[in-house]
Amino acid sequence: MITIAELLEAYQVVQQTFAPLRLSRWQLMKLFATQIWREASFAAKIITVAVCLIPLLMIIARILRPRSLKRLGIHPAVKSKPGRMSFKDVLEETAEKVCQSCIYIVH
């Protein structure tokens, strides 16, 4: 495993080597990151990619997740009762409560 001291030493070597070229800090950091990436083992590369991709995928999944009806403020037409109800009972109860009202499905 690479320590902080080794990283600083490697950065200083890169900085002193390319000093005559007058590279910007950004260019030096890119060059240094490329060098570290080339010298890293396969397992270290896999771990680095996983550490970068997992949070990104979690954010994308969170954004693309559909909203629940409760979050949208739409409450169920039938209140849940303790115990099991048959499907027929649920349909009859719903028909009694909303038989005269119009139901619009918004998509």
Structural domain includes residue 43: yes
Structural domain includes residue 39: yes
Give the residue numbers spanning the domain of 54. 4-64
pLDDT at res. 107: 46
Amino acid (1-letter code) at residue 61 = A
For the segment 16-73, what is each residue's pLDDT rounded down to a tens digit?
Answer: 888 888 888 888 889 888 888 898 899 989 999 999 999 999 999 988 887 777 777 7
Structural domain count of the chain: 1
Find out whether 32 and 11 touch, Cβ atoms under 8 Å.
Answer: yes
Structural domain includes residue 22: yes
Structural domain includes residue 27: yes
CA atoms of 62 and 68, how far apart (whole Å)? 13
Structural domain includes residue 71: no
